[in-house]
Amino acid sequence: MRVIEDVDQWFVELYDQHRGLVFSAALRLSGARGDAEDLAAEAFLRAYRAASGYGEERRAALRTRAWIMTILMNVWRNHLRAVARRPPPDPLDDAADPPDAAESVEQAVERQETSGELAALLRRLPENQREAVVLRHVGGLSIGEIAEALGVAEGTAKSHVSRGLSRLRALAAGLDQGGFR
Amino acid sequence: MNRDPRPDPLIEGLAGLADDAPPRLLDRIAARWVRADSPVGAVFVAFTDRGVAYVRRDGPGVAEEFRRRFGRPLLRADSPPDGLAPALLGGGTAAPEVAVDLRGLTGFQADVLRAARTIPRGQVRPYAWVADLVGRPRAVRAVGTALATNPVPLVIPCHRVTRSDGTLGQYIFGADAKADLLREERAAAG
């Protein structure tokens, strides 16, 4: 037990518990697997470095899910600032085949789930709505956790989620009618 | 109980966008460690997905020193990185170079170590030779400092850099170990 320190064991548990959540959120925010790996790795490294200075009691008291997602959102926003001067990628670059005009909204959403088109629609939301929708419905966070991770009031978090969903439905309907083609 | 029993395809679609992290993600974060035999005795070796990052004599505090210097979690490795054993033995001409992770060093330190790595087994070079090679001929003392803090001794043979007056100079594993290593390498090469 000389080499394996408590903080490393603690980290492995943190990682195993939240790796899917952190990676998925990073993937759906950035839209690219390579970026998602960079963002997730950076978030976990920062978490480790912070927790190394915490002492056992403070580590044990952490609500780790909201905590690691707060770190990820900081990493994500730093990343956004760093790429701000680059031209944005075409949001439809990774969209799949055009939808069949006879499809219902439901069918279109179902197809988008498998084609990656829903992921592309997500990237067309305003940043604060996209973050809230990803944390709530891809990550499964509570409104309280989202408010903490985004550093906003719960009412604001809730409103971002709900507006984001409405906008997604409108975007999906627009696609269904060929409105964006 | 007033929930609509029909699933909302948008909510389901969003939930379906969750994915597991790729297995290699952990190796981008954590370093792994093994113990290994070397000419200076048992050593502690830490490595990342980029390569060998840290070699020190095994003993109390070595893992803590790694964490202090690198700020990464340190997990036990299932197996040593490819090519570690021959690299610790100083490499032969036929031995493939083991990858090293020199992130965290300054460009100058990394240049000095890469220069030292080109010195063949059985030979030595003066500190001034390294300083010349990295384009900083006046930085002989800084070369000495960079070699003295070499994170991966043996793998990068900083012991093959000696003083121009013919004495051996300092070594992370001690001056005696440096003398022993150089004697063995000369004998093997001779």
Instruction: Give the CATH class of A105-176.
Output: mainly alpha
Tell me the CATH number of domain B25-189, given options 3.30.1330.40, 3.40.50.620, 1.10.150.120, 1.10.10.10: 1.10.10.10
B22 given a catalytic annotation: no
Q: A47, A68 in Cβ contact below 8 A?
A: yes
Does B77 reach chain A within 8 Å, measured CB to CB?
Answer: no
pLDDT single digits (tens) B19-43: 999 999 999 999 999 999 999 999 9
Interface size, chain A vs chain B, as Cβ–Cβ contacts under 8 Å: 103
Distance from CA of A118 to the nearest CA of B (A): 7
Percentage of residues of chain B with pLDDT beyond 70? 93
Whether B63 and B33 have beta carbons less than 8 Å apart is answered as yes
pLDDT at position B152: 96
Which of B20, B28, B29 should be substituted to probe chain A, the one whose Cβ sees the most A Cβ atoms within 10 Å?
B29
> In chain A, which among 59-78 make CB contacts under 8 A with chain B?
none
pLDDT per position as a tens digit, A115-157: 478 999 998 999 999 999 999 999 999 999 999 999 999 999 9
Q: What residue ranges of chain A are covered by domains with CATH 1.10.10.10?
A: 105-176
Average pLDDT over residues B45-68: 94
Q: What is the predicted pLDDT for the residue at A55?
A: 84
pLDDT category, A91, cuts 50, 70, 90?
low
- What is the reported pLDDT for A90? 62
Encode pLDDT of B157-182 as tens digits: 999 999 988 788 889 999 999 999 99
Nearest to A72 by CA among A33, A30, A32, A121: A30
DSSP A152: S
Q: Is the pLDDT of residue A59 over 60?
A: yes
Q: What is the mean pLDDT of residues B121-134?
A: 95
Q: What is the pLDDT of residues B67-113, one digit of tens each?
A: 989 999 999 999 999 889 989 987 655 556 899 999 989 999 999 99
Structure tokens at A65: 């899910």
Q: Which residues contact B142 (CB under 8 A, 6 or more apart)?
A: B108, B131, B136
Question: What pLDDT, on a 0 to 100 scale, did the predictor assign at position A108?
Answer: 55
- C-beta atoms of B13 and A109 within 8 A: yes
Query: How far is Cα B166 from Cα A5, in angstroms, rounded to an integer?
Result: 44
CA distance B177 to B90: 13
pLDDT at A46 over 80: yes
Percent of chain A beyond pLDDT 70? 77
Q: What is the per-residue pLDDT across B140-154, written as a single tens digit (0 to 9) for each? A: 999 999 999 999 999
Is B23 touching A (CB cutoff 8 A)? no
ipTM score here? 0.85
Tell me, yes or no, if B4 comes closer than 8 A to chain A by beta carbon. Answer: no
B10 and A140 within 8 Å at the Cβ level: the answer is no
Instruction: Report the topology of domain A6-83.
Output: Rna Polymerase Sigma Factor; Chain: A (1.10.1740)
Per-domain residue ranges for chain B? 25-189
Q: A101: buried, middle or exposed (CB in 10 Å: 19+, 13-18, 0-12)? A: exposed
Single out the residue of A60, A76, A78 nearest to residue A14, CA to CA: A60
B129 has a pLDDT exceeding 90: yes
